[in-house]
């Protein structure tokens, strides 16, 4: 078992002739998000050092101690606030995002919050305002902006290869007929659980990043699995101000998976299948420091063209490491944060409109 008391507080690292001292990062939460995504990406980002991990779970403390022996282990977030770290990363359950981020900002520390930023757009906007008033960087971990297939779609849209995009279809579908349990399947809106907030946070963010603000939202939120309390089979349709329509599917009950992306333009279409491989690589213990990181096999390339005239189109390399590299640059005053909190607020407004649309069986205008 890992030591149940906090590790001694190390002295702040000093700069060297080779460059500035590493930025010290505190990580709150060591479940899936903290252990699989944030900790490996932080520890492999030049200029960042994982200084502390907060978790009260004995098993997770033991795992954190084994994987990150340089980090002190803390039992509660309150132990972080006096440390004056350069960054606090919040990877705890969604309902805790706002109170923990607020406390970190009030303690004078920049913050990264895992998606979704908050349960409501109003809470997210208030937090963004607090960060602005204190002059502290605040960013939201939207790692799926750096999926290889999404980077490929972005390049095709930006370059004009597809012409004017009429319809953007995007899916995160899974076959999980049995409930897994945990807060993500709770129906209380305060938990911000269900697939709309879990996977929809990614899909809506990607759609808004590609095509700009939405003017209307239509949604269907269904509960298909017995005993489930939150949506597990969800569809959201957006009309963007530029006229593009985005159709977004999230499901845990798809016995047959549709294409990950299907993008229909006036000149050509692009279709791809399967999920970006970076999450599976992280789950397997690999990191961006490993050779071949983010590379999609040629057999999984998408198809570009029109009816009966398609060619395989190489997928750009996935690059989750760019997120924390961008955070490090922002903390040093060299660039804006890689994901602006106001972007997350815009996505939350769409998610709230989707809930309203499904409840009232109508299209909601924004």
Residues 115 and 153 in one domain: no
pLDDT tens series, the chain, 366 aa: 333 333 433 334 445 456 789 999 999 999 999 999 999 999 999 999 999 999 999 999 999 999 999 999 999 999 999 999 999 999 999 999 999 999 999 999 999 999 999 999 999 999 999 999 999 999 999 999 999 999 999 999 999 999 999 999 999 999 998 888 776 777 777 788 899 999 999 999 999 999 999 999 999 999 999 877 899 999 999 999 999 999 999 999 999 999 999 999 999 999 999 999 999 999 999 999 999 999 999 999 999 999 989 999 999 999 999 999 999 999 999 999 999 999 999 999 999 999 999 999 999 999
Residue at 14 is within a domain: no
Single out the residue of 65, 58, 254 nearest to residue 174, CA to CA.
254
Q: What is the pLDDT of residue 180?
A: 80
Rg (CA), the chain: 21
What is the domain-level CATH number for residue 108?
3.40.50.720
| Residues 133 and 152 both lie in one domain | no
151 located within any domain: yes
Per-residue confidence (pLDDT) for residue 197, from 0 to 100: 95
In this structure, are 212 and 181 located in the same domain?
Answer: yes
- 191 and 287 both lie in a single domain: yes
Q: Which residues, in sequence order, are CB contacts of 41 under 8 Å at separation 6+?
A: 282, 287, 288, 320, 321, 323, 324
In a domain, 13, yes or no: no
- Residue 356 and residue 260 in one domain: yes
Buried b / exposed e over 131-155, threshold 16 CB at 10 Å, is: beeeebbbbbbbbbbbbbbbbbbbe
Say yes or no: 170 and 245 in one domain.
yes
Residues 172 and 314 both lie in one domain:
yes
- Please report the pLDDT score of residue 183 as a whole number: 64
Residue 276 and residue 213 share a domain = yes
- Domain-located, residue 199: yes
User: Do 230 and 204 lie in a common domain?
Assistant: yes
Distance of CA 232 to the CA centre of its chain: 19
Q: Which DSSP state fits 366? A: -
Task: Let me know if residue 16 belongs to a domain.
Answer: no
Q: How many domains does the chain have?
A: 2
Residue 64's domain spans which residues? 23-143+328-338
Categorise residue 135: left if φ over 0, alpha if ψ from -120 to 50, beta otherwise: left
Please tell me whether residues 29 and 109 are part of one structural domain: yes
- Same domain for 121 and 156, yes or no, is no
Q: Tell whether 9 is covered by a domain.
A: no
Q: Is 122 part of any domain?
A: yes
Asked whether residue 233 is domain-assigned, the answer is: yes
Q: What is the CATH number of the domain that holds 198?
A: 3.30.360.10
**Phi/psi of residue 99, nearest 5 degrees:** -60, -40
Burial 38-62 (b: 16+ CB within 10 A, else e): bbbbbbbbebbbbbbbbbeeeebbe
Whether residue 108 is found in the same domain as residue 187:
no
């Amino acid at each position: 078992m890992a030591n149940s008391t906090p590790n001694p507080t190390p002295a702040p690292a000093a700069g060297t002739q080779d460059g500035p001292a590493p930025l010290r990062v505190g990580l709150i939460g060591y479940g899936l998000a903290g252990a699989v995504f944030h900790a490996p990406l932080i520890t492999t980002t030049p200029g960042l050092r994982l200084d502390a991990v907060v978790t009260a779970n004995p098993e997770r403390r033991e795992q954190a101690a084994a994987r990150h022996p340089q980090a002190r282990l803390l039992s509660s977030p309150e132990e972080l606030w006096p440390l004056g770290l350069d960054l606090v990363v919040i990877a705890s359950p969604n309902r805790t995002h706002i109170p923990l981020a607020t406390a970190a900002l009030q303690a004078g520390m920049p913050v990264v919050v895992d998606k979704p930023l908050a349960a409501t757009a109003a809470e997210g906007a208030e937090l963004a305002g607090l960060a602005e008033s204190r002059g502290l960087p605040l960013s939201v971990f939207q790692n799926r902006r750096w999926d290889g297939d999404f980077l490929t779609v972005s390049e095709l849209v930006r370059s004009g290869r597809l012409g004017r995009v009429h319809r953007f279809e995007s899916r995160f579908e899974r076959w999980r007929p049995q409930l897994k349990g945990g807060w993500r399947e709770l129906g209380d809106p305060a938990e911000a659980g269900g697939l709309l907030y879990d996977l929809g946070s990614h899909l809506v963010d990607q759609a808004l990043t590609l095509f700009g603000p939405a003017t209307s939202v239509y949604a269907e939120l269904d509960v298909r699995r017995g005993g489930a309390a939150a949506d597990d089979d969800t569809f959201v349709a957006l009309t963007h101000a530029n006229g593009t329509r985005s159709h977004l599917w999230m499901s845990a009950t798809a016995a047959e998976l549709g294409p990950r992306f299907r993008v229909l333009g006036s000149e050509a279409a692009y279709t791809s299948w399967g999920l970006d491989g970076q999450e599976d690589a992280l789950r397997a213990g690999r990191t961006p420091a490993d050779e071949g990181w983010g590379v999609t096999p040629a057999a999984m390339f998408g198809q570009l063209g029109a009816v009966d005239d398609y060619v395989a189109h190489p997928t750009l390399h996935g690059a989750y490491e760019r997120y924390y590299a961008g955070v490090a640059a922002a903390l040093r005053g060299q660039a804006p944060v890689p994901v602006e909190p106001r972007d997350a607020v815009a996505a939350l407004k769409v998610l709230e409109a989707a809930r309203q649309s499904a409840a009232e069986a109508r299209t909601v205008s924004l």
